[in-house]
Amino acid sequence: MMKRRLPWLIALALILVLSLFVLRSLHARKLASATSTASRAPAMLELAPSDVVPATQLELARTLNVSGGLKAVNTAIVKAKVAAELKTLTVREGDAVKAGQVIGQLDTAEVDLRVQQAAQTAESSRAQLDIAQRALDNNRALVAQGFISSTGLETSISNQTAAQASYRAAVAAVDLARKSVVDTRLVAPITGTVSQRLAQPGERVAIDGRVVEIVDLSRIELEAAVAPEDVGAVQVGHRARLQVDGLADSVEAKVARINPSTQTGTRSVMVYLALTPRPGLRQGLFANGSIELDRRKALAVPVSAVRVDQPRPYVFVFDNGKIIERVVTLGGRGEADVGGQREAVVEVTSGLVDGALVLRSSVGAVRGGTAAYLATTAGASAPAASAAR
C-alpha cells in the first residue's frame, strides 16, 4: 500500500516546490518593476525665493577696481630749528593739537649766550661808528679851512661808511640771535593728531632734527595706482565706493586729483580719491573698491549666477516647473542694486528675456530638465503633495 502511495507523494512534493518557485519569481519581478518605476519618477527640487533672481533691466554702473593705502592730505613734521637739548615735550601719540600750540621746549642756555655775544658785538660796532663819525666831522671842518686835502676827507667818509655797515650787521646778528630764542619753542604748525614722537626729553636734537609728526585726519585720500590703459576713462569727480580695513561699512569717495606723470618702472598713474570723513579712518590703512566710470540701462544678472564650467557661459532658468539650461552672451560688468543689496552684475546681450528667473549659485549643482517648484511661505508643500499623487 505504501509503495503505491510513494510516487504520488513525490509528485505532490515536486508540485509544491515548483509552485513556491513560481510565486517567488513573480514577487521578485513585482519588486523590480516597482523599483524601476520609482527610479524613473522625476524628483522635485524645492527652490527658495532667495535661490532665484529675475533677469531685469538694471542701472548698470561700469566700474574700475582700485586699491591702495590711505594717506592724510595734511601732515607736518615738527623739527628743531636750533641745535639744543630737548627739555620738555608735552604731547604723545594720539594727542590732539591745534595750530600754534606750544608742544615742547628746547634748552635756551646756548642761544641766550649767543644773544649776549651778538649784543656786545653790536655795542662795539656802535662805538666804532661813533669814532668814525666824529673823525669825518672833524675832517670836513679842516677841509673847509684848508688844513687837509680832499683825499683825507674821502678816506674818512669810507671809514664811516664801513663802520656803519658793520654796526648794521651786528644789529642784524642780534635780531637773528633773539629769533633763535623764539625758535627754541616747538609749535604745532597744523591742527591734527600726534602720530609719532621722534625724540625724547633729555636728547640733544640737531638742526632740522625730527621731533614730532602731526597728521590731520579731517582729510584722508586713497592713493591708487591705475594702469595706463584704464586711466583715460577716469575723470576728476568720479565717485567711488571703498572698503577699508577695520570698517564694516563701505566708505564713499570721489576722484580728487590725477597725477600728470607715470610712476617709474610700472608706468602706472597715481589717482587720488578723497574719502568722506568718518570715525575710524587712519593714515596707512589699506582700502580697496571701485570707481564708477559711467551708468547705463542693461539686461543684467548677478555675476555669481553665471556658470563657466563649459566652453560657453550659461545660466539655469526656472520655467514652467522645470530647470532649463540657457547659453548666454555676456557684455560689460559693473555694480547694481539687486534686491536691495549692492552686487557685481554682468550684462546679458542674448540668451535671456526680461523677467526670466535665473538660479543663483546657492542652489549648487543641478541638471537641465530637473523638475522643480518655487517654495513660498504658505503652501510650500502643495507641489510635493501633488507630485506624490
In sequence order, what E strands does 80-130 have? 84-89, 96-97, 102-106
Enter the C-alpha cell of residue 248.
564694516
In sequence order, what E strands does the chain have? 45-47, 52-54, 56-79, 84-89, 96-97, 102-106, 185-187, 192-197, 204-205, 210-226, 239-244, 251-262, 269-275, 286-302, 314-319, 322-327, 329-338, 341-350, 357-359, 372-374
Binned at pLDDT 50, 70 and 90, residue 381 comes out as very low
Higher pLDDT, 139 or 32: 139
pLDDT at 21: 67
How far apart CA 329 and CA 313 sit, in angstroms, is 7
Dihedral pair phi/psi, residue 4, rounded to 5°: -70, -35
Binned at pLDDT 50, 70 and 90, residue 155 comes out as confident
Residue 338 · residue 301 · CB < 8 Å: no
Instruction: Give the tens place of pLDDT for each residue, 291-325.
Output: 988 888 889 999 888 998 888 999 999 988 888 99
The number of helix segments (H) and strand segments (E) in the chain equals: 5, 20
pLDDT at 6: 63
Binned at pLDDT 50, 70 and 90, residue 266 comes out as confident
Mean pLDDT confidence for 18-35 = 67
Q: How high does pLDDT run on average in the chain? A: 84
Name the CA radius of gyration of the chain, rounded.
46
The sign one gets for the Cα dihedral 302, 307, 313, 314 is negative
Mean pLDDT confidence for 47-65 = 85
pLDDT at 44: 76
Q: Is the pLDDT of residue 257 over 60?
A: yes
pLDDT at 320: 87
Structural domains for the chain: 45-62+296-388 (2.40.420.20), 66-72+215-293 (2.40.30.170), 108-181 (1.10.287)
Enter the C-alpha cell of residue 270.
597715481
Enter the C-alpha cell of residue 333.
560688468
pLDDT at 260: 93
pLDDT at 4: 60
Instruction: Give CA 127 to chain center in angstroms.
Output: 68
How far apart CA 89 and CA 102 sit, in angstroms, is 9
pLDDT at 385: 36
Binned at pLDDT 50, 70 and 90, residue 287 comes out as very high
Binned at pLDDT 50, 70 and 90, residue 379 comes out as very low
Mean pLDDT confidence for 44-72 = 86
pLDDT at 158: 86
Higher pLDDT, 388 or 38: 38
How far apart CA 295 and CA 382 sit, in angstroms, is 43
Residue 317 · residue 352 · CB < 8 Å: yes
- Please tell me which of 260-264, 332-336, 369-373 the model is most confident about, judged by mean pLDDT: 260-264
Burial 256-295 (b: 16+ CB within 10 A, else e): beeeeeeeeeeebbbbbbbbeeeeebebebebebbbbbee
Q: Is the pLDDT of residue 41 over 50?
A: no
CB-side neighbour CA atoms (13 Å) of 335 = 16
pLDDT at 224: 94
Residue 359 · residue 316 · CB < 8 Å: yes
pLDDT at 215: 95
How far apart CA 179 and CA 114 sit, in angstroms, is 11
- Percentage of residues of the chain with pLDDT beyond 70: 86
Give the C-alpha distances (Å, rounded to integers) separating 203 from 80, 83, 199, 208, 247.
12, 11, 7, 14, 39
Instruction: Give the tens place of pLDDT for each residue, 74-114.
Output: 999 999 999 999 999 999 999 999 999 999 999 999 888 98
Helix (H, G, I), strand (E, B) or coil at 175: helix
Dihedral pair phi/psi, residue 281, rounded to 5°: -75, 130
Enter the C-alpha cell of residue 78.
615738527
Lowest mean pLDDT among 265-274, 280-289, 367-376: 367-376
